[in-house]
């Protein structure tokens, strides 16, 4: 595994704002953690899919399939939290 690919840049320290009906509201730290969790899960899903597509060893295929299932469940959990808290991403 390439270690350089695992290095992540620090997240923005300033608090982003979201706009609701003309007024701006600061996004809470908890909401930002949920948003970053979704972003991280999406990246991990794509990375695991690529590994799964290029692997021929049956044991690794099983391992990546289980890993993909676990990451997908984590992604669904974060989406559920977004829905419950009314967080809209990408709008």
Average pLDDT over residues 59-64: 95
Backbone angles phi, psi at 19, to 5 degrees: -115, 130
Q: What number is the average pLDDT over the span 8-30?
A: 58
- Does residue 38 register a pLDDT over 60? yes
Q: Tell me if the pTM is above 0.75.
A: no
Please determine, for residue 44, whether its predicted confidence score (pLDDT) is greater than 50. yes
- Cβ-contact 67, 73 below 8 angstroms: no
Look at the block and give the residue holding tokens 């997908």: 72
CA–CA separation, 91 and 82 (whole Å)? 13
Model confidence at 71: pLDDT above 50: yes
Determine the pLDDT at residue 10.
46
Give me the phi and psi of 25, to 5 degrees please. Answer: -135, 135
Q: What are the residue ranges spanned by the domains of the chain?
A: 40-84
């Amino acid at each position: 595994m390439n270690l350089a690919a695992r290095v992540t840049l620090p997240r923005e320290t300033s608090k982003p704002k979201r706009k609701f009906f003309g007024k701006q509201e600061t996004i809470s730290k908890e909401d930002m953690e949920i948003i970053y969790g979704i972003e991280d899960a999406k990246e991990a899903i794509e990375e695991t899919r690529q590994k799964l597509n290029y692997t021929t060893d049956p044991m690794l295929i099983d391992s990546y399939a289980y890993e993909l299932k676990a990451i997908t469940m984590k992604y669904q959990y974060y989406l559920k939290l977004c829905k419950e808290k009314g967080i809209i991403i990408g709008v």
